[in-house]
Amino acid sequence: MEEPSSPGPKDPPKSTRFLPRFDALKVAASSAAASASEWSSRAANASAEAARVAGARAAEAGAKAADAARRAAEATAAATEAAREAARERLAREDGGGPPEPRRSGSLTPSEREAAFAALLQRRSVAMEPLRRLCFLDGVPDGVHSTSALGTALKALGTVTPLLRTQVHRALAWKLLLGYLPQQRSEWDSHLRSKRQAYAELREEVTARKPRGGGGGGEDHPLGGDTAEEAAMAAWREDEALKVEILKDVDRTLPQYMFFSTELPHGALHAAALARVLFVYAKLNPGIRYVQGMNEMLAPIYYAFSAELEAAPAVQADAFFCFTALMSEVRDHFCSNLDHTALGITARIERFAGLLAAKDPPLAAALDNIRVAPTFYAFRWISLLMTQELDLPDVLRLWDSLLADERRFDFLLYFCVAMVLCIREELLEHGDFSYSVKALQHYESRVPLHTLLERAHALYAADHPQLYAPPAAPPPRPPPPPDRMSSNGAAYL
């Protein structure tokens, strides 16, 4: 007989059967709402952070732009400040006019010079004041390759050799300093083409042609006297005599350098080019014509330009116009009629003598006592801009400073005084006329160029400190306004 089964648990009411599931869903919904609120808050914070970062980046970009605008001025300021400090320390130590102590630190390293120089030449309009400062204090940088920024800028001339041959790139700086090139880079190419064409026409115009008949017979000249053919022959003979006179001096120009040696084929070509430039100058300037020593003045210009250009006619044309510009400032040194005037070489020598007496009275008095007049040695120093006293590389470096001098060629007088002061002890020790004259007339490489330049800058800075004052930096540009915000808080980036 089967036992009755025990009753099982009762089923829950239908109203409470789904409560646990509803609670779970309610909790899930609440959690989702909280999560959505959190993500919304994060999104708002992210938008605010993005706006803040964008504003900070904009301000930082503005500061960097202002800083970049000051870098070129700071580069030249570093050079001038270093030279000014060196001059101040050196003058404080000099009590008897003896040789200066070595410079403790240079103004700019070669890489810094090249960077500053290239930055100037990359501008659409070359800033002449910073260019003058760099050239005057440190010289034009050498060893610039075609892959550098400067090499790229020089290629804008259109006549630069592909490899640039790592030569001294003074041509561009000298053309700017002598006023041959305009400051606007976009005008260089057309300007050079025009000038070179003008030189070719001048050469043709001033060259007299030999008459075919040799000067015998022909119709009477309209002005009477010799026949027209004889007058043409006389003009041709006069030109030939001038060419012989010029070539005689050109053949003796820097013969120790292979570049100018007439015993070598390329040297003979360079000598012929120098002679042509001097001939055209003499024909266009009949009041002064050609004077011995002009060949020495032309040689550094021609050499510097030959390192840049491929075409010989272009070298001659550029050298001619720059030589003409230089001679317009020193031609009075070559005119004997002006020797004893305020414009002549005698007045310049007297200024040098007064400067030497002011900087070192005992030394000036000692030389005067043994009858060593400045005319015995300074005449050639000043009239030929040291071209016969220094080696060619040193002449090139010195001319960087001379051509960049704001008080054109005043620095030369201080350089001449520095040459005398740097051998002061030697001159005073011997105290002899013949020894002193020989030492000064044959200065050669008695003192390194950098020592002479340091001494000359120290003397020059003492009398003209404004030339060594650091240039004023441009005022900083205000930061740009913050980026505008969109309606949902996002920045327009």
> Within a domain: residue 283?
yes
pLDDT of 97 reads 41
Whether residues 346 and 321 fall in one domain: no
* Residues 6+ away with beta carbon under 8 Å from 105: 82, 86
Residue at which a domain ends, from 329, 354, 387 = 329
DSSP 334: G
pLDDT of 391 reads 94
Q: Taking 70 as the threshold, does the pLDDT of residue 379 lie above it? A: yes
> Within a domain: residue 49?
no
Long-range contacts, 331-336 (Cβ 8 Å, 24+): 331/285, 331/288, 333/382, 333/383, 334/288, 334/291, 334/293, 334/294, 334/383, 335/287, 335/288
pLDDT of 214 reads 57
Residue at which a domain ends, from 279, 305, 329 = 329
pLDDT of 158 reads 44
Percentage of the chain beyond pLDDT 90 is: 48
Query: Distance between CA 415 and CA 492 in Å, rounded?
Result: 61
Q: What is the mean pLDDT of the chain?
A: 78
Name the one residue in this structure whose structure tokens are 């779970």: 24
pLDDT of 332 reads 81
pLDDT of 26 reads 60
153 neighbors 122 (Cβ within 8 angstroms) = yes
Whether residues 191 and 233 fall in one domain: yes
pLDDT of 435 reads 95
Task: Give residue-wise pLDDT tens across range 124-167.
Answer: 999 999 999 999 998 988 654 444 444 555 445 444 443 343 34
DSSP assignments along 22-91, one per residue: HHHHHHHHHHHHHHHHHHHHHHHHHHHHHHHHHHHHHHHHHHHHHHHHHHHHHHHHHHHHHHHHHHHHHH
Whether residues 194 and 291 fall in one domain: yes
Instruction: Name the residue with higher pLDDT: 421 or 490.
Output: 421
User: Could you tell me the sign of the dihedral formed by the alpha carbons of 288, 292, 298, 300, in that order?
Assistant: negative
Whether residues 316 and 365 fall in one domain: no
Whether residues 371 and 248 fall in one domain: no
Q: Taking 60 as the threshold, does the pLDDT of residue 8 lie above it? A: no
Of the listed ranges 58-72, 227-241, 261-275, 463-477, the least confidently predicted one is 58-72
Q: ∠ CA 137-138-139 to the nearest 5 degrees?
A: 110
pLDDT of 204 reads 92
> Within a domain: residue 151?
no
> Within a domain: residue 310?
yes
Instruction: Name the residue with higher pLDDT: 33 or 408.
Output: 408
Percentage of the chain beyond pLDDT 70 is: 66
Query: Distance between CA 276 and CA 239 in Å, rounded?
Result: 11
Q: How confident is the model at residue 64 (pLDDT cuts 50, 70, 90)?
A: low
345 neighbors 384 (Cβ within 8 angstroms) = no
Whether residues 375 and 428 fall in one domain: yes
Query: Distance between CA 405 and CA 423 in Å, rounded?
Result: 25
Q: Taking 50 as the threshold, does the pLDDT of residue 358 lie above it? A: yes
pLDDT of 318 reads 96
Q: Which range is most confident: 207-221, 342-356, 408-422?
A: 408-422
305: number of CA atoms within 13 Å, CB side? 26
Whether residues 358 and 458 fall in one domain: yes
Alpha-carbon separation of residue 455 from 403, 423, 470 (angstroms)? 18, 12, 20
Q: What is the largest CA-CA distance in the chain?
A: 177
Instruction: Name the residue with higher pLDDT: 400 or 20.
Output: 400
116 neighbors 75 (Cβ within 8 angstroms) = yes
Q: Taking 90 as the threshold, does the pLDDT of residue 198 lie above it? A: yes
Whether residues 376 and 422 fall in one domain: yes
Q: Residue 342 is part of which domain span?
A: 335-469
Task: Give residue-wise pLDDT tens across range 263-298.
Answer: 988 889 999 999 999 999 999 999 889 999 999 999
Residues pairing with 355 in the sheet: none
Which of 207, 89, 73 has its CA nearest to residue 134? Answer: 73
pLDDT of 398 reads 96
Task: Give residue-wise pLDDT tens across range 89-107.
Answer: 443 443 344 443 333 334 6
pLDDT of 67 reads 59
The span from the first CA to the last CA of the chain, in angstroms, equals: 92
DSSP 160: B
Instruction: Name the residue with higher pLDDT: 172 or 36.
Output: 172
**Single-letter amino acid code for the residue at 161:** T
> Within a domain: residue 89?
no
Whether residues 194 and 325 fall in one domain: yes
DSSP 486: P
Buried b (16+ CB within 10 A) or exposed e, 238-266: ebeebbebbbebbbebbeeeeebbbeeee
What total of structural domains would you count in the chain?
Answer: 2
Query: Distance between CA 26 and CA 247 in Å, rounded?
Result: 111
Task: Give residue-wise pLDDT tens across range 397-452.
Answer: 999 999 999 888 999 999 999 999 999 999 999 989 999 999 999 998 889 999 99
Whether residues 318 and 344 fall in one domain: no
pLDDT of 49 reads 74
CATH code for position 239: 1.10.8.270
> Within a domain: residue 257?
yes
pLDDT of 400 reads 95
Q: Taking 80 as the threshold, does the pLDDT of residue 28 lie above it? A: no
CATH code for position 371: 1.10.472.80
pLDDT of 490 reads 40
Whether residues 377 and 459 fall in one domain: yes
DSSP assignments along 255-295, one per residue: TTSTTT-TTSHHHHHHHHHHHHHHHHHHHH-TTT---TTHH
> Within a domain: residue 465?
yes
Whether residues 310 and 341 fall in one domain: no
CB atoms within 10 A of CB 484: 7
Residue at which a domain ends, from 280, 306, 329 = 329
> Within a domain: residue 300?
yes
Query: Distance between CA 491 and CA 49 in Å, rounded?
Result: 10
